[in-house]
Structures are given as C-alpha cells and as structure tokens.
A and B are shown apart, each in its own frame.
Chain A
C-alpha cells in the first residue's frame, strides 16, 4: 500500500517536473489539452442530461396536453344556462389560473387552447375565448407586448391573433412601423385576420417594404373571408411605397378591380420596372383594351420583360388591326416574343400563318413554327 502511494507520488512529481522544465509552448499546449479534455467530459455529461431532458419534456408536454384538453372539453360542456359560469367551470378556471403562473404549463395551456380554437367554431369558439380572458391568460399575452425581446412580442401578437382578441387593436398601432420585420409582419397578420379589409389601413402609413412573403400571407388570409366589400385601392396604387403598389396590383388582379384601370394605366410609366411589368400583367388579366395601344406605341422603349408581358396581354386582346405589328415581331430576337407573335397570328389569321413557313431560316423560328403547325 505504502509502496503504491510512493510510486503514485513519484509519478505525480515526475509530471510536475516535466511540465515545469518544458518549453513554454509545450506548457501552453498541455494546459490547452487539459482545458479541452475537461470541456469534452463536461459536455459529454451535459449531453446525456440534455437528451434525457428533451425526451422527458416531450413526454411531460404530451401528458399536460392531455390533461388540459380534457379540462377544456369539460369546461365547454359544463355551461349553465342560469348562471354565466357554472360551478364546474369555475373549478377549471381556477385551476388554469393557478397553472398559468408557471411558464411551462402556461405554454401548454395556450397551445392546447389554440389547437381547440382552430378545430371548433360558433358558440364553442366564443367560449374558448371567454375562458382565455377568465383564466387571466390574456394578461400574460399583453405583458409580452411590452417585452424588449422581439420574439416575445411576436409570440404575444400571434397568441392574440389566434385567439381573435380584437380589443387590443389600439395597442397594435405602434408596431406597424416597428424596426423589426418579424414584429411588423405579425401585426399585419393580426390586423388582417381580425379586421379583414379594414385591417389593410396600415398600408396608408406603412413606411417599410412589404416582402413578397408578407404579401402572399396577407392575401391568403384575405381570401379566407367571403362577402366583403373591397375598399378603394386607388390610393395604394398611387403609394410612394413600391411594395404597397405591388400589393395593390395583386389585389386588383385577384378581386378583378376593373374600376382602377386609370390608376393602372398611370402605373405603366412607373419608375420601377417590376411594377410596370406587373401592371401590364394585371391590365392583361382585366382585359383593359386602352392599355394595348399605349403599350404598342411605346413598344420599342419598353424593357424586354415588359415586351414579353405585353405579348401575353396581346394573346387576350389582339385584333386584326394588330396583324402588321405581330408580323414585324415574328422575327424578333427573343424566343418568347417570337412564339407569342406566331401563336397569335395562327389564331387571328390562319391563312397568313401558313404563308409564314419559309420566311426565316433561324433555327428557333423553324422550331416554333413547326411546333405551332402541329399543335
């Protein structure tokens, strides 16, 4: 035993001596190795705990979800016609109110409420919303709106949107031009989900750009609602914010807003090319004949994207008077324009089309012609 201790001490001393007598760089390297080794050991232990915690969390969430779901269903069916809140309901409200003080449990309660809210409608859905107020959960959501962390604010707005809390509309105004785009997007969804077309008033004051993603989301929300009066989109078509104009163009197309054709024609001279191209697309969709001559007369100064879009418009609005214009473009350098021109001529003047077979030796021309000939 003593021999063993002496041997251990000797080797320990040897290591100390070796370390002290080593060059400084070796000392640094060994010190770093020790740090890395300790880090590896700590992380290994922590990884084990982390994985167990993640597994446990999933299990706990599932258990709580089951419990709260059953409570919520009991609450929904325990309604008392005489009193506003039955005794059974009051027990559940008290339970939820007490559980809501714990953040983890609150998260599960809210997610369960939301899931249920999305699955039901009518009086039941109203009851869920009532419970949201009664259990005090709304207070926590409102607190989130005051957080300095953007993602907490987003969570708060989302929760209020999903539970259709219209009462906080005035509090949302401050977020419309918030510097964080995630907050802006969430508040836009709040306004449109709860106030439909009326909610679009934020476009009047929006100073930042609406991304394509935001626009698609807003339009998707709007399309869920029927029987709505479409507001006047003229002011948005004249907005200085290009993204608002782009969004208004989409509205004009989806809701067939033929009455804004004058504003659309003005947009043909917009400084932003993408807006001009989108405008031609909408004009084509709305079949605004006046646009055709304006574009035809200015064809040579249009960008290639506008020219291509114009030919798509012509596919809907062409007349025999356009024949010479079309003929001139059957040999256009651009494949799509050439295709459109020949396609329209075939529809408009079949005999003329036949006579065009050998007018060009260009490979693309021959390919397009042969394709159209047999299709």
Chain B
C-alpha cells in the first residue's frame, strides 16, 4: 500500500467518525426539542385532570401489580406494604417469590396472616412449577394480596407466572423494591382509557432515584439529593434519559423500552405474544419490541405511551461494582433483543419501528460504546505514532465536553420547569456541579460496563443476571 492509499483510508476513517458524531449529536438535539414540545403539551393536558374521580370509581379497569421477589427478605414486608397502599380501587398485588433461598416467604406468611389456598392457574405461558403454593391472607385488610411461591426461574419467568395468575385487564410489572406513589396506577392507566382511535399496548413510567430520600411506611416523605458522586450522577443521567429521550420517543410512537422497574401492560396482548422471554437478560425491552412487532404484523393501530410524572422511586447502585454489573446486563439485554428481532431492522413493513426506532437503537445505543472505544484506541495509536493533530483534538474534545454539559443543564431545566422535585436550597448548585463532573465520574464506568457487556455476550454466554445487593430504601429513614 502506498502513502496516498493509506492517506485515503485514514481520511475515510476520520470522515466516518465525524459523520457518526454529527448524527449522534443531531439526534440528541432533535429528541430534546421534541421532548420539550411533548412535555409542554403533557403538562398542559394533565393539569386539568381530576384523578380523584377515576380513583374512587368501581368501574375503573382492573389492574394487577406483579412484583417478582428473589431473596428480598431484608425489605419484603415494607415493600409489600408500600404496594398495598395505592389509592386505586380496582387492583390487586401478586408477589411472585421466585425460589428465594432466604426466609422471604416465612416473613410474608407471618406478617400478612397468609394461608395456602387452592388456586386454579390458567397456564397460558409456560413457567417453572409452583413450589410451596399460592397464599392469601386471612386478614380482610390484605385481601388484595396474593403470594405465589415457585421454583427459581429468573425475573422473566416470575413475571410470566404473575401473568398467568392475574385475572385483571392490565398488569403493572414492577420491581418489588420500587416505591410507587399512591396515584401511580391511575396516572399509568389513563393512556389506555383515553384513546379512541388506536390501542395502547403498554405504558412506561419515569423511574426516579430514591437513594437518600426519606421513606416511611411505604410513603415518600422527603426528596433528598444523595451525597455519593455515583448516585448524584445517576440522578442526572436518569433525568436526561427520561425527560429528554423517552418523552420524544413517546411522541414519535417509537419507544422500544419500558423500564422493567415499572410498566403497565395490556395483559391480553402480553399473553398473546407469549409473555416475557426467559432467555434474555433484557426481558423488559424484549417484550416491548415483541408486542410492537406483533401489532405491526396484525396491522392494528397501536401506541406505547409514556408518563413523565415521577411515580416510581427506586434504589440505584451506590457503588461502582454493582453499577457496572447492572449496566453490563443492560448492554447484553440490548444486544440480545436487537439480534433476536433483527428482521424488523430497516424493514419498511414495520414502519417507524423498523425504519426509525430500530436503527436509532442499533447505531446510537448498541454501537455507541463500541465506536467510542474504537475512537479511543485509534487516538492512542496516533498518540504513539506522534501523529495527533492537537489543534483538532483539543477543539473537538472541548466542543464535545461543552455539549455534554449543556445537554445535562437542559435536562435539569426540564425538571425544574415541570416537576421541580429537588426543591432544597443548594441542590441546584449540586446538580450543576454534577453536570460538569459527570463525564468523568460516571461515563468512563458506563463505557467500561458496556464493553464488558459486549465481551460477556460474545465470549461468556453463561453469564446471566448480576447480583444487586439491597441496602434497602427503608434504611434511608435513618440518614
């Protein structure tokens, strides 16, 4: 290869990096603008809604909250109490004890006066068998509660058991340790009920981070900003993702993922598509893609809705080891889902799902960390060869950094103008501070986790879920 050929190849590489970065940034800006428009409209429309009427209505649709639990003994009693405190009328709570090795079941039996009952299950989705049985409370105060004890099969399998057990029209699939606000169900069910021309198949809610918040008896009493950098940075990251990303995808009817921590589904469609896939660690994304694919294939008009209100609060990883394990799993889940449904990618038959959502996720979610690492390696090679054009490098690094900071500040703005959850004096400064530092305290770990996720996906097929050690939100009471 002569010098000019090398030169041409290098120019093409540079151009490809440039085009990729340009489109990534352009997509973020476009999504942020669409989000702003959608959020404004949402706030206007919902400022008039009287949720009290649907709250007390006996003709409101029935909802089952399905919460899988695995070794959650530490907080299971408080968590169940929180789930039972919803103000919605027509709902029940199904806790699926997924083969826990701890004393979760014994604690539940004692705390909620449970007795084993004869329960007929319509096994529409195959799952691992029942272990100790199905339990109901003898105390009328807990009549909404059902506990199912089954053999361990993973989160997806436990959710499928919940789908089989539920007799209700809608199912809210949530993490057992999530704290749901009292009006969460009526807000989440609203999109299903207000459409007349199309069908809403699922609604996703915003997940907020509860670390350092004060929680008592399953109720959020005070919102605090945590002290650890990793927690602060995740709050900012969630604000960006939920307020500037998903809101836009909801408007474009292109949402590909509803957080596994809290989502409401049309049970009939969820069962029709076969429930959750037990062979992926990204079951929350996979089921949405499959449901959308199904609706496209049967040619029925549908929508996946999204509610930006802060309705669900959860504990986020407070150390890098758990954080990396979580993000590693998210990466593998994304790869698995995109690979499994590759048929829809760039396929005009699937309309915006195939031509917009899938390509976006492939290029800017799935491939982003890979391309970033290739860029870093390429930069390192240039550095070693003393070929770095520092005038270019410095200018572009500063531009990228400032864009990141600005984007985070816009997310904070969006939060302040809408929900204004972090009201305390001084928190504004802390949010700005973390906007400046987040590229250093969180992003490198996200990148590392994503690369590990890729490697595990291709070279360590046996790896499934990582461990998430619960500190327990209830502990926050003492902070």
Contacts and interface: CB of A to CB of B under 8 A. Distances in A.
Contacts of A77: none
Nearest to B56: A220
Interface stretch (A24-32, A163-171, A256-264): A24-32
B118 A216 contact: no
A213 B190 contact: yes
Nearest to B55: A220
Interface range, B side: 35 or more
Given A47-B412, A47-B428, A374-B118, A29 B44 contact: no
Contact of B398 (A33, A54, A181, A211): A33
Contacts of B406: 36, 39-40, 43
B403 A217 contact: no
Interface string B381-413: 000000000011001101100110110011011
Contacts of B405: 36, 40
A104 interface: no
Contact of A32 (B48, B56, B399, B429): B399
Contacts of A367: 120-121
A55 B424 CA distance: 9
Interface in A124-183: 151, 154-155, 158, 181-182
Given A29-B396, A55-B425, A182-B45, A212 B193 contact: yes
A224 to B, nearest CB: 10
Contacts of B409: 40, 43-44, 47
A186 interface: yes
Contacts of A208: 196
Given A47-B432, A48-B428, A219 B59 contact: yes
A216 B60 contact: yes
Interface string A239-270: 00001000000100010000000000000000
Interface range, A side: 35 or more
A372 to B, nearest CB: 8
Interface string B31-48: 000000000000011011
Contact of A212 (B121, B194, B392, B396): B194
B7 interface: no
Nearest to B416: A50
B399 A33 contact: yes
Interface centre among A151, A221, A368, A374 (most CB of B within 10 A): A151
Judged by DSSP, the binding face of B is: helix
B106 interface: no
Nearest to B122: A335
Nearest to B117: A375
Interface centre among B120, B121, B123 (most CB of A within 10 A): B120
B416 A51 contact: yes
Contact of B395 (A26, A51, A243, A250): A26
A32 B60 CA distance: 53
Contacts of B432: 44, 47
A5 to B, nearest CB: 27
A60 to B, nearest CB: 15
A210 to B, nearest CB: 8
A36 B403 contact: yes
Nearest to B119: A371
B59 A213 contact: no
B57 interface: yes
A86 interface: no
B108 interface: no
Contacts of B193: 211-213, 216
A209 interface: yes
Contacts of B122: 335-336, 364
Contacts of B392: 25-26
B120 A186 contact: no
Contact of A243 (B56, B196, B399): B196
B50 interface: yes
Nearest to A223: B57
A22 interface: yes
Judged by DSSP, the binding face of A is: helix
Contact of B54 (A22, A217, A250): A217
Interface in B68-111: none
Interface string A8-41: 0000000000100010011001101100110110
A310 B235 CA distance: 51
Contacts of A43: 406, 409-410, 413
B402 A216 contact: no
Nearest to A243: B196
A219 B50 CA distance: 14
A213 B187 CA distance: 11
B423 interface: yes
Contacts of A182: 45, 48
Contacts of B423: 54-55
B53 interface: yes
Contacts of B45: 151, 182
B398 A216 contact: no
A36 B59 contact: no
B420 interface: yes
Contacts of B47: 151
Nearest to B412: A47
B402 A33 contact: yes
Given A154-B48, A212-B193, A339-B120, A33 B395 contact: yes
B258 to A, nearest CB: 21
A335 to B, nearest CB: 5
Contacts of A364: 122-123
Given A55-B423, A151-B44, A182-B48, A26 B196 contact: no
A219 B57 CA distance: 9
B115 interface: no
A212 B124 CA distance: 28
Contacts of A51: 416, 428
A206 B280 CA distance: 48
B248 to A, nearest CB: 20
Interface string B337-353: 00000000000000000
A151 B48 CA distance: 9
Interface of B: 44-45, 47-48, 50, 53-54, 56-57, 59-61, 118, 120-124, 190, 192-197, 391-392, 395-396, 398-399, 402-403, 405-406, 409-410, 412-413, 416-417, 420, 423, 425, 428-429, 432
Given A25-B392, A33-B402, A36-B405, 12 more contacts: A26-B391, A33-B395, A33-B398, A36-B406, A44-B432, A54-B423, A151-B45, A151-B47, A182-B45, A211-B194, A250-B59, A335-B124
Closest 9 CB pairs of A and B: A209-B196, A36-B402, A213-B193, A212-B193, A371-B120, A213-B194, A220-B53, A29-B395, A51-B428
24 contacts: A22-B391, A25-B392, A32-B399, A36-B403, A40-B409, A43-B413, A47-B409, A47-B412, A51-B416, A151-B44, A151-B48, A181-B194, A208-B196, A210-B196, A211-B194, A212-B193, A213-B190, A213-B193, A217-B50, A219-B57, A221-B53, A336-B122, A364-B122, A374-B118
Interface of A: 18, 22, 25-26, 29-30, 32-33, 36-37, 39-40, 43-44, 47-48, 50-51, 54-55, 151, 154-155, 158, 181-182, 186, 208-214, 216-217, 219-221, 243, 250, 254, 335-336, 339, 364, 367-368, 371, 374-375
